[in-house]
Structure 1
Amino acid sequence: MAMLACAASLVLTVAACGSDDQSAATSSSSPVSDVFTPPNLTETATEAAGCPTAAPAPGGKPEWTLSGGTGSVAVTGSTDDTAPLVTVTPPFSVTETQVHTLKAGDGPVVADTATVQVCYMGVNGRDGTVFDSSYERGAPAEFPLTGVVPGFQKAIAGQKIGSTVAVAMTPADGYPEGQPAAGIEKGDSLVFAIKVLNATT
């Protein structure tokens, strides 16, 4: 629950995770999720709104590529049947948070104080490892945008429901002091691929 709102588990609780006083809980089954999940974050598994777990077909063209201050990243968003693909040429870092809409949804615009339901994958730019993923768990996460790390909020607020989005965030917008339980070190830039399933105000 520390910095990234602990990114939905890690990612989503960024805002909640933004505070160093919050203690991180770990679990042998999904330590990253437990670490990043704020008290008010829930994961819901429903057949209608699950997160696809299948890997995308090889050889597809990325929907977004970004050269960083160091390294680069290529992102292919999720589909109804497949999880996203985030490929990092490490070490990848950015000096300014970058948000890219991979596919715009057709629902209402998400307010910056909304409670959202999302599927997400978080990747560490330093080494390209996935540190948290609701796609791997097959269940979306639900949390208030006021309780996640700033980069996660910047990625989702203003998007339309149904959108798939990618964000490359600076350490300041993620976990400035790192999040050891998730393998995030001080100074790591993070990349998230997100699908916005729903939002309520």
Structure 2
Amino acid sequence: MKRCLPWCLLSLLMMFPGCRSTAKFSPDQTPASASAYAPTAQWKPTTFVDIPELQTGAGPMDAEIASEFSKTESGLKYRILRNSDGRKPTADDTVTVKYRGWLDRGKVFDSSYERGEPTTFPLRNVVAGWTEGMQLIGQGGMIELWVPSKLGYGEAGSPGSIPAHSDLHFVVELVSVE
């Protein structure tokens, strides 16, 4: 809720002409205080967002993190939050990870941190954005993924948790590769 408060106040202030900000942003830019939790109705999704807040139980991030996402040929956006020289998985490997996943408006739909234990699964058995993204870091690394709908659950969504055509956001720590 802390992250929502400034956006709620901004929305209220924008209703009153005398309180409007004179700051101007291009459609592909957001103010420095914007984050992945910004309402999509107010801000167009961009490649710039604040560094995500980590949940309790997450390991540290590197001291310097890129403010912009890199983009793969498939459209997956990512940024490395903690580098590692550890073994990188292939699509045929089984990985153990700690993660949190949320939608554009900030609603968390899954979190191993909240369950208090890492999750293990074959990398081929997850959405394409995860399979691709996890191969970008080594064991012990941390990555932030911005998975476009076509690499996630697409037009079907996932009944009960992820609406159709939803982009997905994740912070993932790669604990081990088997």
Name the residue aligned to 1:106.
85
Structure 1, unaligned runs of 5 or more:
1-60, 85-94
Q: How many percent of aligned residue pairs carry the same amino acid? A: 28
The 1-side partners of 2:127 and 2:100 are apart by 15
Equivalent position of 1:115 in the other structure: 94
> 1:194 maps to which residue?
172
Q: Structure 1's 179 and 81: CA in aligned 2 closer, same or farther, altered over 3 A?
A: closer
Distance in 2, matches of 1:136 and 1:78, equals: 12
Change (3 A) 1:181 1:79: closer
Which residue does the alignment assign to 1:76? 52
TM-score scaled by length of structure 2: 0.61
Of residues 112, 115, 119, the one that matches 1:134 is 112
- Between the aligned partners of 2:78 and 2:53, the Cα distance in structure 1 is 13
Q: Is the 8 A contact 2:97 2:118 kept in 1?
A: yes
Q: Structure 1 residues 112 and 79, CA, compared in 2 at 3 Å: closer, same or farther? A: same
- Size of the aligned set, in residue pairs, is 126
> What is the DSSP-based 3-state SS (H/G/I as helix, E as strand, rest coil) of the residue aligned with 1:76?
coil
Is contact 1:78–1:195 with CA below 8 Å preserved after alignment?
no
1:61-100 to 2 correspondences below 5 Å: 70-71=44-45, 73-76=49-52, 78=54, 81-82=57-58, 96-100=75-79
- Structure 2 counterparts to residues 34-49 of structure 1, below 5 A: none
Q: Call closer, same or farther: CA 1:80–1:180 in 2, change over 3 Å.
A: closer
Task: Pick closer, same or farther for the CA change 1:199–1:82 going to 2, 3 Å.
Answer: closer
Q: Does 1:165 align with 2:143?
A: yes
Question: Radius of gyration: which is bigger?
Answer: 2
2:157 is aligned to 178
Q: Read off the aligned partner of 2:103 and give its amino acid letter.
A: N
Confirm or deny: 8 A CA contact 1:75 1:166 kept in the other structure: no
- RMSD of Structure 2 on Structure 1 (CA): 3.1
User: Which structure has greater strand proportion?
Assistant: 1
Q: Secondary structure at the residue paired with 1:154?
A: helix
Question: What TM-score, normalized to structure 1?
Answer: 0.55
* More RCO (CA 8 Å, sep 6+): 1
